[in-house]
């Protein structure tokens, strides 16, 4: 198989599969399971930041997405999204920085997909956690390697359909079983579930301050965009106009998902209080609805997890092997597929090791979005103002990452307020470097 077909499905995906693979990638099982868990623990503020994030994502589809699509046609020999949006910088070192950060961030995120999947089966079917995680990664590895992105898109179409139908039906039945569709009683029960109320802001744990809402919205939108498996979706659609249509559909898709997650998470807090993890609530609810319906939704969530994990695993191995290929010109097209197989296998093993500690994975996966957000200013610079140069773009990313790391180590406690997210501080500093350099470059061209 040609690398273009294996990694990018020949850039010829039709509209409906494109839409559903976007759904499966951006609105994954982790978004459903993790989103419901956030509602369960932190309350209604999740709806505000998620909705804002999906609006930002729609703007990204219509701007960054279209730019990447056009560049993928202008430079058809460039297959890696990282190499594409850094194309005009002509800096292998900067590309290597992006690859390394992507590896550090995305392996825990891949592990988080497996963790959510294994926890779901553990709570709903009683399957052993570690064995389930191991079997899942083995299946994911062989499936992604058997047919590349084309195979994954087929799974995306199936899982998106099953998730939409199954989880919507479970939500409706859940409301009917416990509240007989009496929404006033539903709201009253949720309000009584915790003190402070899950329906209040900033929520029972004080998470949803205005600054946190903005920061979290940027995490799930702009922070997700540099991720290779997401950026690939802009490149593979057959026609640019598909992205225009998706730009208007995306907010509705996202709001639908967060309403489903919110209903299950908030309602679950009223019916199943005291769970050790919010991730368990989906499994608890599925065990209460009719078996056939629960099975349908469960299969949808399983497919969602597998397809997202497939996509992440393939894309991480892909960007590493592509970078290696750029440095080693003697590697053939067949050789790059073999390289990808070995890199993918190594990444799958690391992801499994990480998933053995699920409580650690959740924290690392959250930090993954924070880390990738620090690359967003440099990515946007590569697309829109490459004249600032690779050194400035690299400095932007490194500054954001250093702030993030220093904050995690407690070195910025005297400077950064506790209520201000460190990932947002890093992003703002990195963005300021890009903006200052762009203004300086523009001013220099005006001066005689």
DSSP notation for 415-433? TS-TTS-HHHHHHHHHHHH
d(CA 102, CA 86): 14
| pLDDT for res 366 | 63
Q: Which positions ≥6 away from 67 have C-beta within 8 Å?
A: 383, 384
CATH of 3-373, one of 1.20.1730.10, 3.40.190.100, 3.40.30.10, 3.20.20.150: 1.20.1730.10
| pLDDT for res 214 | 94
Q: How many other β-carbons are positioned within 10 Å of the β-carbon of residue 90?
A: 11
Q: How many other β-carbons are positioned within 10 Å of the β-carbon of residue 181?
A: 10
**C-alpha atoms less than 13 angstroms from C-alpha of 18 in its C-beta half-sphere:** 28
**Please, what's the largest Cα pairwise distance for the chain?**
76
- List where CATH 1.20.1730.10 sits in the chain: 3-373
- What interhelical angle do 291-327 and 228-236 show, nearest 10? 90
Q: For residue 32, give the nearest of 286, 314, 311, 364 by alpha carbon.
A: 286
**Three-state DSSP class for 13?**
strand
Tokens 């004249």 sit on residue: 387
d(CA 357, CA 350): 12
Tokens 């919205």 sit on residue: 217
| pLDDT for res 333 | 63
| pLDDT for res 334 | 67
Local confidence pLDDT in tens for the 448 residues of the chain: 566 677 778 888 999 888 888 877 776 666 777 788 899 999 999 999 999 999 999 999 999 999 999 999 999 888 888 989 999 998 989 998 998 898 888 877 777 777 766 766 676 667 777 777 777 777 777 766 676 777 778 777 877 777 778 888 889 999 999 999 999 999 999 999 999 999 999 999 999 999 999 999 999 899 989 988 888 889 999 999 999 999 999 888 888 889 999 999 999 999 999 888 787 788 788 878 887 777 777 777 677 666 677 777 777 777 877 777 766 655 566 666 676 677 777 777 777 776 676 555 555 666 788 999 999 999 999 999 999 999 999 999 999 999 999 998 888 888 888 889 999 999 999 999 999 999 888 776 554 5
Q: For residue 282, give the nearest of 171, 127, 137 by alpha carbon.
A: 171
pTM of the model: 0.85
């Amino acid at each position: 198989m040609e690398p273009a077909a294996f990694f990018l499905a020949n850039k010829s995906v039709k509209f409906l599969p494109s839409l559903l693979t976007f759904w499966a990638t951006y609105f994954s099982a982790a978004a459903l399971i993790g989103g419901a868990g956030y509602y369960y623990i932190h309350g209604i503020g999740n709806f505000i930041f998620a909705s804002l994030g999906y609006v930002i994502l729609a703007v990204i589809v219509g701007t960054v997405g279209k730019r990447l699509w056009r560049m993928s046609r202008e430079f058809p020999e460039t297959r890696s999204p990282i190499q594409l949006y850094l194309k005009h910088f002509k800096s292998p070192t900067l590309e290597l920085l992006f690859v390394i950060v992507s590896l550090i961030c995305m392996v825990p995120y891949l592990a988080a997909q497996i963790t959510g999947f294994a926890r779901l089966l553990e709570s709903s079917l009683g399957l052993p956690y570690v064995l389930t995680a191991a079997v899942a990664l083995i299946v994911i590895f062989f499936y992604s390697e058997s047919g590349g992105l084309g195979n994954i898109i087929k799974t995306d179409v199936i899982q998106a359909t099953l998730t939409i139908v199954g989880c919507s039906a479970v939500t409706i039945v859940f409301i009917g079983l416990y509240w007989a569709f009496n929404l006033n009683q539903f709201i009253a029960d949720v309000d009584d579930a915790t003190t402070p109320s899950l329906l209040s802001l900033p929520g029972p744990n004080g998470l949803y301050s205005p600054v946190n809402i903005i920061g979290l919205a940027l995490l799930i939108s702009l922070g997700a965009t540099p991720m290779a498996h997401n950026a690939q979706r802009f490149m593979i659609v057959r026609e640019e106009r598909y992205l225009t249509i998706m730009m208007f559909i995306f907010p509705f898709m996202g709001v639908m998902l967060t309403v489903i997650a919110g209903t299950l998470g908030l309602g679950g807090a009223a019916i199943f209080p005291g769970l050790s993890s919010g991730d368990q609530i989906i499994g608890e609810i599925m065990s209460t609805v009719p078996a056939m319906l629960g099975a349908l939704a469960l299969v949808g969530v399983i497919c969602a997890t597998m397809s997202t994990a497939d996509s992440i695993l393939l894309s991480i191995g892909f960007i590493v092997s592509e970078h290696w290929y750029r440095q080693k010109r003697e590697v053939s097209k067949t050789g790059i597929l073999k390289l990808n197989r070995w890199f993918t296998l190594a990444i799958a093993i690391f992801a499994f090791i990480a998933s053995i500690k699920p409580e650690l994975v959740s924290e690392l996966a959250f930090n993954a979005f924070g880390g990738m957000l620090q690359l967003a200013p440099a990515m946007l610079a590569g697309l829109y103002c490459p004249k600032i140069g690779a050194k400035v773009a690299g400095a932007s990313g490194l500054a954001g990452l250093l702030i993030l790391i220093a904050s995690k180590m407690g070195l910025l406690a005297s400077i950064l307020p506790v209520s201000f997210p460190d990932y947002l501080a890093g992003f703002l500093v990195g963005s300021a470097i890009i903006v200052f350099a762009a203004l300086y470059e523009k001013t220099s061209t005006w001066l005689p």
